[in-house]
Structure 1
Amino acid sequence: MKNNLHFISPKILSFSWGSMEVEGYGVGKDFKLYPGGARSWDWSETGTEHSPGIQPEDIMELIEKECEVIVLSRGVYSGLGVMDSTIRLLEKNKIQYHILDTKRAVEVYNELVNENFRIGGLFHSTC
């Protein structure tokens, strides 16, 4: 764990159906969060769809940002899948992970930010 501001991940300030507010980054629908930053998570970059879900390509940026823990949000009703190959990639890189519905994912993510982990996450605010 590092306490340098460059390594602090932004908190999620609010979440409701179809909308999230991220500290220092404003409001959006889906987010990719990581130590020192955040950006919109555009599924079309990798061709992500609800099924089969989050693919290895979706988390590569988080791995490259040296996240110790990654939170994967499956949506409000867990309608977004997670590919087995994504989980294998996390395990291969010895990255702790949490796969949760969005409400719980936001809670866990913010708790880990408070504990100064190098945390990353993919957050989907609908389905």
Structure 2
Amino acid sequence: MTTTDPTADPTTADDAGEASGTAGGTEPSDAVASPRVRRLEWGLMEVEGLAPGKDFVLYPGGGHAWNWAVHGTRHSPGIQPGDARELLERGAEVVVLSLGMEERLGIAPSTLELLRQAGVEVHVKETRAATALYNTLAAAGRPVGGLFHSTC
């Protein structure tokens, strides 16, 4: 599992790749972009192309509000495999999992095992850092998906 700590603010990180082009070469013309987070504050996220909300599932080509009840996600044991599986099914090759603004959201060990077996690059971070990294990866044209919790 990769864990890097970007210093970019999520409100500005989404512009990082636009001025300098994409990282690592030219983005393929058939690539489907991951939507960027335009604003993040306690209990509110604004994502391009989506209605504002609290928690989000984002992936190449779109996203939606994250309903924890669908797969039984709770703060403990945390993010469930079904939530992460959706990111893989939607084409994510890089996955960013947020722990919440106060890092109170856990990640079930079975979720990390699923992602390890899938061979994807995984980043686990506090929500502000997770959002900044996600935006940077999306701006670089990477097929990134993420699960974001905007409160505790």
* Normalised-by-shorter TM-score class: over 0.9
Q: The residue matched to 1:123 in structure 2 has which SS?
A: strand
C-alpha displacement of 1:27: 0.6
Give the alignment's TM-score, normalised by structure 2.
0.80
Q: Could you tell me how far apart the structure 2 residues matched to 1:44 and 1:54 are?
A: 11
Higher strand proportion, which one?
1
Q: Is 1:4 the equivalent of 2:19?
A: no
User: Matched residue pairs, number?
Assistant: 126
Moved over 2 A (4+): 1-5
In the alignment, residue 100 of structure 2 is paired with which amino acid?
G
Contact 2:99 2:126 survives alignment (8 Å): yes
Q: Could you tell me how far apart the structure 1 residues matched to 2:101 and 2:48 are?
A: 21
Contact 2:72 2:80 survives alignment (8 Å): no
Contact 2:55 2:150 survives alignment (8 Å): yes
C-alpha displacement of 1:67: 0.7
Contact 1:30 1:123 survives alignment (8 Å): yes
Q: Could you tell me how far apart the structure 2 residues matched to 1:98 and 1:76 are?
A: 15
Contact 1:62 1:120 survives alignment (8 Å): yes
Q: Is 1:35 the equivalent of 2:42?
A: no
In the alignment, residue 37 of structure 2 is paired with which amino acid?
I
Q: The residue matched to 1:27 in structure 2 has which SS?
A: coil
Query: 2:87 matched to which residue of 1?
Result: 62
Report which stretch shifted further, 84-93 or 13-22: 84-93
Q: Within 5 A, what are the aligned runs for 1:1-127?
A: 2-4=28-30, 7-127=32-152
C-alpha displacement of 1:14: 0.3
C-alpha displacement of 1:2: 3.8
C-alpha displacement of 1:13: 0.0
Unaligned runs of 5+ in 1: none
Provide the alpha-carbon RMSD of the alignment: 1.1
% identical equivalent positions? 47
Q: 1:51-101 CA distances to partner (integer Å, 9 max, x unpaired)?
A: 000011111111111211010011001100011111111110000010000
